[in-house]
A and B are shown apart, each in its own frame.
Chain A
Amino acid sequence: MNAADAMSPGLGSALAGMIKRDLLLAWKRPGDILNPLFFFAMVCTLFPLAVGPSVEQLEFAGPGVLWVAALLSMLLSLNSLFLSDFEDGSLEQLLVSPQPLVVLALGKTVAYWLTSGLPLVLLSPALAITFRMPADTIGVLMTTLALGTISLSLLGSIGAALTVGLHRGTALLSLLILPLAMPVLIFGARTVSLAAAGDVFSTGIYALAAYAVGALTLAPYATAAALRISNE
């Protein structure tokens, strides 16, 4: 045994390993990434069909519709965040690994955002155009969605960890997460509306950024605690 082998892998190696593993898993099952995206696109289609094709109405409702659709689409994939790890025993292995569970939970959440939040951000301009959103507003939309989906992923990971292994997981998860997610929705959707109307919208961006930073700091600890409890 040489000296290099005697060292435990550091936090960085654990974090990178966790992210890499989950990305690899997502790569092998592309449907899990694509289905929420199709859902996002379809919910956005429902609104014009339901309220009529009037341009004025669509311009007005656009930011709200896109944001609600993004939120629901995130919820759709959230339930599976820890489910397969729970079922195949990987979660047990993570719980007793020499690495802090907080780091592993953060790694899983980062990978989750990369495979669910980021694709939504990238797809959103295409849908925004159908709502007649001007180009500079689309920039604001993508910024708010990027910040907002980070917060939603972190918040959602707590809920997913609390409900993993329970029956009626998805419905319960929505009930837990939606009220907590309302500030994100409010700041996200209203900021885009303000930008569309040509008003000052920086407050909302700052609030979203602050929320994302706060969630990044605190949420992994709650997720780790919840995972230990759920695995009992």
Chain B
Amino acid sequence: MTAKLSASDLTLIRGERCLFTGVGFALDPGQLMLLEGANGSGKTSLMRGIVGMLDFEEGEVRWQGEPIRSHRQPFFDAMVWMGHRVGFKADLTVAENLRFEQSLRRSRTTDLDAVLERLEIGRLKSLPLRSLSAGQQRRVALARMLMADAELWLMDEPFTNLDREGRKLVETLVTEHLRRNGMCVMAAHQDVSIDAPIERVLLQ
């Protein structure tokens, strides 16, 4: 029985440098995968490789047993990505940005207000994104994950720019997501307190 998200013998070369080689993992519903490693160890590159933004030199990532390279759509249908940058337009309001998201992907909920309340940014709904602080913008990015009906969350350094309360919120949300039988891949350079089976991938 193969795991839902799996990979073996991943090698990534950027320019002249080999970032990592022989990396593999297997992840099943309800599990969290934590990518650990120092700055520059290739955490972000591995994340970007998993979602197909970078090509691995060797090895491949599989979703439900099918290589993602050749079966993009089923994978993208089941995942949502949170990168370093928020990925929203600064000129548009929070609501406008999230409504655009809804026109692209399947939503778990259409109740925008409830999601924003949950993230404690309900009163910012009709403000343009540029007037929000970095931490508030992070919370809008979290709203994308909460609204999407996606099994797999990919989060690259989700704690950046968040205060203690915000970190706690991320941990709670991820825990809830895993309890719903969701999956999460997270790159983080600090330890997280999430009560779930954790698969650790250490990059040298």
Contacts and interface: CB of A to CB of B under 8 A. Distances in A.
A8 interface: yes
Contact of A92 (B55, B83, B103, B149): B83
A99 interface: yes
Nearest to B101: A93
B106 A5 contact: yes
Interface string B63-77: 000000000010011
B53 A95 contact: yes
Contacts of B21: none
Interface stretch (B23-31, B84-92, B164-172): B84-92
Nearest to B100: A21
B89 A84 contact: yes
Interface in A3-58: 5-9, 13-14, 16-18, 20-21, 24-25, 28-29
Given A9-B103, A89-B83, A92-B83, A232 B88 contact: no
A136 interface: no
B103 to A, nearest CB: 3
Contacts, number: 94
Contacts of B104: 9, 14, 17, 97-99, 104
A200 interface: no
Contact of B105 (A1, A6, A9, A16): A9
B107 interface: yes
A89 B76 CA distance: 17
A28 B129 CA distance: 13
B89 A88 contact: yes
Contacts of B92: 21, 24-25, 28
Nearest to B79: A96
A90 B89 contact: yes
Contacts of A202: none
A24 B100 CA distance: 11
Nearest to B150: A98
B86 A14 contact: no
B108 A89 contact: no
B105 A232 contact: no
A17 B103 contact: yes
Q: Is the interface of B mostly helix, strand, loop or mixed?
A: loop
Nearest to A100: B73
A98 B85 contact: no
A98 B81 CA distance: 11
A231 interface: yes
A93 B81 CA distance: 7
A89 B105 contact: no
Q: Give the dominant DSSP class at A's interface.
A: helix
Q: Considering residues A84, A89, A90, A98, which has the most beta carbons from chain B within 10 angstroms of its beta carbon?
A: A98
A88 B103 contact: no
A92 B106 contact: no
B3 interface: no
B86 A25 contact: no
A98 B91 contact: no
B73 A89 contact: no
B125 to A, nearest CB: 16
**Which residue of B52, B53, B109 has the most chain A CB atoms within 10 A of its CB atom?**
B53
Contacts of A104: 104
Contacts of A92: 53, 81, 83, 85, 87
3 tightest A-B CB contacts, nearest first:
A17-B103, A89-B85, A89-B87
19 contacts: A5-B110, A8-B77, A8-B106, A9-B106, A17-B103, A20-B100, A21-B96, A24-B92, A25-B91, A88-B87, A88-B89, A89-B86, A92-B53, A92-B83, A92-B85, A92-B87, A98-B73, A98-B76, A232-B54
Given A17-B104, A93-B83, 5 more contacts: A8-B77, A87-B85, A89-B83, A96-B52, A99-B105
Interface of B: 51-55, 73, 76-77, 79, 81, 83-92, 96, 100, 102-110, 149
